């Protein structure tokens, strides 16, 4: 009996892109993508591959589910049109397919026998820790500016001088204005989830893109703060230091985003008040809301970012707050129904405390104080109030009184 041939038998296929790059870096491989040379869409379907590509021919392997794309070339659409014109045909070579990609480190392929195909020097750039674009076609998609910043941050790479220059030229030409909010946010979200999210914003600032994509953050640079509390002085520098600390304290990108935007109001401080920033938290809230509206940030991220922006000064003053003020803060944070949101708030605020030179590993009492207050107030059982025979609004009023008393008693005992 003859064993049926596998769907890929006889196909000229190559592993490409991130899986090849990450394997060379010794990183775990999450997904494997393939390019198929010399085949047609009809042949792929006949072999059992399932077509899924809308804009170009991509197929899912019937057994592994891995993506197989026909080798293709791309060129930017004519003026007045968006997207790219794709040409996928059996005569497109592997080298031509790799040439349309963004960076040399993403333009390597591996054959089934393990042979590396590296026509543009990606392996050497990996060894040097350099991010280099492949061709002038890089500028056809301005999103590659953000991708360059994200990859540089992810791997700790430097930009090749010619690539840094080209990215600045793309920004200067106004090309970033054509990006949709969804594409900008997708790159930002992925950068915030990486190990070095602050470097993403540093690279964007170096090429001028930060002022276009995140003008509220760019406006913080050059704004002074009191040296007594902020040895770094510059509000923009402080913001990225806070983001570094948020990345150290939490893997949740929503926490990191909240830390990133919490001080936006400092850019609007009247000059006569500098270096103090009176009421910057109140001025920051509409700026955070506008940024979230513009980039269509998920509601959960937005709610946390607004809460941190509005209340982070209360967090810093935790030791001196009256029990009634503590309880009001806990209620505004919805801490009794959403304890994880309360924890996320504390982490973002703690990152704010640590985002200053010399304070990175300091001990701060605010997280412990507020957690203890929350625990004391949470220990008040609402059912005990109902059992006392109260009804309607009186239940809520008595529950608030008991929670406030619990906080007061805890604080007096702890002193």
Worst-scoring range by mean pLDDT, 55-59, 173-177, 186-190, 220-224?
Answer: 55-59
In sequence order, what are the residues at sequence separation of 6 or more whose Cβ sits closer than 8 angstroms to the Cβ of residue 26?
none
For residue 297, how many C-alpha atoms fall within 13 Å in the half-sphere facing its CB? 22
What are residue 129's phi and psi, to 5 degrees? 70, 45
User: Above 70 in pLDDT, residue 292?
Assistant: yes
Q: What angle do CA 205, 210, 216 make, to 5 degrees?
A: 125
Q: Is the dihedral of CA 270, 276, 282, 284 positive or negative?
A: positive
Mean pLDDT of 11-18: 94
Q: What is the pLDDT of residue 8?
A: 87
Structure tokens at 221: 């640079």
User: Above 70 in pLDDT, residue 229?
Assistant: yes
Measured CA distances, 6 to 10, 50, 66, 119, 142 (Å)? 9, 15, 14, 29, 40
Mean pLDDT of 234-248: 98
User: Above 90 in pLDDT, residue 269?
Assistant: yes
Structure tokens at 379: 């220990």
Q: What is the pLDDT of residue 388?
A: 74
Structure tokens at 211: 């002022």
- Contact predicate 131/149, CB 8 Å: no
Mean pLDDT of 110-139: 95
- Contact predicate 77/92, CB 8 Å: no
Mean pLDDT of 174-202: 97
Percent of the chain with pLDDT over 90: 85
The rounded mean pLDDT for the chain is 93
Q: What is the pLDDT of residue 81?
A: 46
Give dist(CA 71, CA 78) in Å, integer: 22
User: Above 50 in pLDDT, residue 1?
Assistant: no
Q: pLDDT band for 384, please (50, 70, 90 cuts).
A: confident
In sequence order, what are the residues at sequence separation of 6 or more whose Cβ sits closer than 8 angstroms to the Cβ of residue 332?
307, 311
List, by residue range, all CATH 3.30.460.10 domains of the chain: 1-141
Q: What is the pLDDT of residue 4?
A: 52
Q: What is the CATH number that goes with domain 1-141?
A: 3.30.460.10
């Amino acid at each position: 009996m003859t064993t049926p041939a596998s769907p890929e038998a006889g196909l000229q296929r190559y592993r490409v892109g991130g899986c090849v790059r990450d394997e060379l870096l010794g990183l775990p491989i999450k997904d494997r993508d393939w390019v198929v040379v010399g085949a047609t869409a009809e042949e792929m379907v006949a072999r059992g591959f399932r077509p899924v590509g809308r804009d170009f021919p991509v197929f899912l392997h019937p057994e592994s589910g891995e993506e197989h794309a026909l080798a293709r070339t791309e060129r930017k659409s004519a003026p007045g049109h968006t997207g790219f014109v794709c040409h996928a045909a059996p005569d497109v070579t592997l080298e031509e397919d790799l040439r349309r990609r963004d960076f040399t480190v993403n333009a390597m392929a591996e054959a089934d026998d393990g042979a590396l195909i590296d026509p543009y020097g990606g392996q050497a750039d990996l060894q040097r820790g350099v991010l280099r674009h492949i061709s002038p076609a890089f500028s056809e998609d301005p999103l590659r500016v953000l991708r360059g910043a994200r990859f540089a941050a992810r791997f700790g790479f430097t930009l090749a001088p010619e690539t840094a220059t080209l990215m600045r030229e793309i920004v200067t030409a106004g090309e970033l204005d054509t990006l949709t909010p969804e594409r900008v946010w997708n790159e930002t979200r992925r950068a915030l989830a990486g190990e070095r999210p602050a470097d993403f914003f540093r690279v964007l600032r170096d090429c001028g893109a930060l002022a276009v994509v995140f003008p509220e953050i760019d406006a913080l640079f050059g704004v002074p703060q009191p040296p007594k509390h902020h040895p770094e002085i510059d509000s923009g520098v402080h913001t990225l230091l806070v983001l570094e600390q948020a990345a150290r304290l939490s893997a949740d990108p929503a926490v990191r985003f909240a830390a990133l935007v919490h001080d936006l109001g400092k850019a609007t401080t009247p000059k006569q008040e500098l270096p103090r920033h009176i009421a910057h938290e109140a001025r920051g809230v509409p700026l955070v809301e506008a940024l979230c509206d513009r980039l269509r940030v998920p509601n959960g991220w937005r709610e946390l970012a607004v809460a941190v922006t509005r209340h982070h000064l209360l967090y810093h003053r935790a030791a001196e707050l009256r029990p009634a003020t503590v309880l009001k803060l806990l209620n505004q944070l919805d801490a009794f129904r959403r304890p994880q949101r309360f924890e996320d708030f504390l982490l973002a605020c703690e990152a704010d405390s640590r985002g200053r030179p010399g304070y990175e590993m300091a001990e701060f009492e605010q997280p412990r104080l507020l957690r203890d207050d929350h625990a004391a107030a949470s220990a008040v059982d609402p059912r005990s109030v109902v059992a006392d025979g109260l009804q309607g609004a009186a239940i809520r009023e008595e529950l608030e009184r008991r929670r406030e008393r619990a906080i007061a008693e805890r604080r007096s005992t702890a002193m």
